Amino acid sequence: MPGLEELFAFGTISKEFDVKGVSVRMQVLDTKQVQDALNASWGDDEVARLVEYKKQVLARSISHCNGVQYIENPGNPKQEEIKKLLADLNKFHVFIINLLYEKYDEMDESVRANLEDEVKK
């Protein structure tokens, strides 16, 4: 569709957060990355699937933590990078997963609100 690319001219949006004294840089995922996170989410019940989905999103979104680079190309993370982040996230208490996901969700909502404003113009 001609001109569709113009909607995505803003590029990758990322933000750095301080979470309990730890600096975490996350990026907003594109549609394919969100779909990949959904497809990789599994669990015996809805709660388990939701926690797994959050971990899958974070594993694709977190690019840096305290200056350590986890994803070389945030727009196209490698499976090995996602697996390593998932292994680290699996060690966390669900409270930390929820806290990190809330930060991601805040960033995503901010982007959505900005895009809505731009579309209305």
| Per-residue pLDDT tens over the stretch 42-94 | 878 999 999 999 999 999 999 999 999 999 988 889 999 999 999 999 999 99
pLDDT at 71: 92
The pTM of the full predicted model, rounded to 2 decimals, is 0.83
Which residues, other chains included, contact 58 with Cβ-Cβ below 8 Å and sequence gap of 6+? 26, 85, 89, 97, 100, 101, 104
CA distance 85 to 55: 9
Helices (H), the chain: 31-40, 46-61, 79-89, 94-120
Residue 8 confidence (pLDDT) = 52
pLDDT of 4 strictly over 50: no
Tokens of 39: 């497809």
Residue pLDDT, tens place only, 16-52: 989 889 999 998 898 888 899 988 888 789 999 999 9
